[in-house]
Amino acid sequence: MPEAVRIDGKGFADGLRARIAAAAEAFALHAGRRPGLAVVLVGEDAASQVYVGAKGRACIEAGIASFEHRLPATTGAAELLVLIERLNRDPEVDGILVQLPLPEGLDEQAVIAAIDPDKDVDGFHVINAGRLSVGQEGFVPCTPLGCLMLLRDHLGDLSGLEAVVIGRSNIVGKPMAQLLTDANATVTIAHSRTRDLPEVVRRADIVVAAVGRPEMVRGDWIKPGATVIDVGINRLPPTEDRPKGRLVGDVAYAEALGVAGAITPVPGGVGPMTIAVLLRNTLVAAHRHAGMDAPSGI
Ligand code: NAD
């Protein structure tokens, strides 16, 4: 069996970001302002600081205005809601993202609920979850939408394919299953209580692993020729030659390479798609707010 194709998420995301930059330029010429994304970070969580920095840089590179609001961990709910209300009303702001997790004591659901659903470019608001569920235009969470883009790019039409999504979180597993269903795949959602997970995975033409357990999906769980999308990002404990610890996905990559038809690596697969789709959602939001049709091919 030939080795699996490595799905180049980084390359796809770079191309998408270039198309977004061109469309953002055209938007600015027409609307007289740039698309704008406000990112709210509460507290000093190290990983969140890195993500917020990366999002800000990606915005600037794509010609999207970035408004960062870094608040101390002691910020109260009322203060945070006042900021969100201000951003909801700000005509320069097309997208609002509140970086999760929030410090203890702040109710994430209440904060997300305060965001104007038409600026909720993360797609986490219940209104957007509902819109996705009934097939209305809204915003779809960035990671699963990025996975769908990679699948469509690699496989084309997904009609009739058996898809197994492992994980049922609101931000990855559930919207992923919805997107695959809408793309006419036959979808199974597997989770921590699924019986005989290897056997369930073995029937899949498409496997999306979003669990958060290093290399849980073994090579012999995968149907020969299947397409594997590995959402997991897990850092292994540090070793002498890798003092920061190696990053691995939820799939045993080396094993899967010998069985799958195609697979996303970690890093360099799904990860880079998430920020690119965030920029895409912000660009789409800007077009909707300006009463313009969203550009095609993005
Ligand atoms: P989560 O913890 O909210 O959900 C994990 C899901 O896995 C749960 O629904 C649970 O039922 C299921 N699960 C747990 N143990 C299981 C088992 N033994 N067998 C089968 N299913 C099991 O996680 P999440 O937010 O959906 O993230 C999942 C992974 O994806 C994490 O590694 C996270 O870091 C990564 N992630 C990556 C990106 C990206 O940009 N690439 C974005 C979001 C999340």
> Tens digit of pLDDT for each residue in 67-88?
999 999 999 999 999 999 999 9
SS3 68: strand
Among candidate residues 8, 94, 120, 122, the one labeled active-site is 122
Average pLDDT, the chain: 97
Residue to substitute in 50, 172, 266 for testing ligand 1 pocket (most ligand atoms within 8 angstroms of CB): 172
Ligand 1 centroid–CA 212 distance in Å is 4
Contact between residue 273 and residue 13 where contact means Cβ atoms under 8 Å apart: yes
Q: What is the pLDDT of residue 1?
A: 77
CATH architecture of 32-116: 3-Layer(aba) Sandwich (3.40)
**How far is the C-alpha of 238 from the C-alpha of 226, rounded, in Å?**
32
Instruction: Ligand 1 pocket test: pick from 231, 250, 279 the residue with the most ligand atoms within 8 Å of its Cβ.
Output: 231
Residue of the nearest CA to atom 30 in ligand 1?
Answer: 232
pTM exceeds 0.85: yes
What residue owns the CA closest to ligand 1's atom 16? Answer: 192
Q: Specify the pLDDT at position 296.
A: 87
CA–centroid distance, 173 to ligand 1, in Å, is: 8
Known active-site residue 230? no
| Confidence tier at 161 by pLDDT (50, 70, 90) | very high
**Catalytic residue selected from 55, 119, 174, 223:** 55
How far away, in angstroms, is 108 Cα from ligand 1 center?
Answer: 18
Residue 64 neighbours by CB under 8 Å, 6+ apart: 20, 24, 34, 35, 36, 37, 279, 282, 283
Beta strands in the chain (DSSP E): 5-6, 36-42, 65-71, 95-98, 162-166, 186-190, 206-209, 227-230, 234-235, 247-248, 262-263
Which residues lie below 8 Å from residue 264, measured CB to CB, with a gap of 6+?
6, 7, 9, 150, 228, 229, 230, 249, 270
Which pLDDT value is given to residue 297?
84
Give yes or no for residue 230 having a pLDDT over 80.
yes
Q: Which of 99, 174, 223, 250 is catalytic?
A: 99
Residue ranges, CATH 3.40.50.720, the chain? 142-272
Task: Tell me, yes or no, if 55 is annotated catalytic.
Answer: yes
pLDDT at 75: 97
How many Å apart are CA 14 and CA 285, to the nearest integer? 21
* pLDDT over threshold 90, residue 12: yes
Q: Which of 75, 82, 81, 62 is nearest to 19 (CA)?
A: 62
Mean pLDDT to the nearest integer, 181-200: 98
Average pLDDT over residues 109-134: 98
Give the whole-number percent of the chain exceeding pLDDT 70. 100
Architecture of the domain spanning 142-272: 3-Layer(aba) Sandwich (3.40)
Q: Where in the chain is the domain with CATH 3.40.50.10860?
A: 32-116
E runs forming strands in 53-101: 65-71, 95-98
Question: Would you give the DSSP letter of residue 117?
Answer: G
244 is catalytic: no
Q: Name which residue leads in pLDDT, 155 or 294.
A: 155
Q: How far is CA 259 from the centre of its chain?
A: 26
Mean pLDDT, residues 146-162 taken together: 98
What is the pLDDT, as a whole number, of residue 134?
A: 98
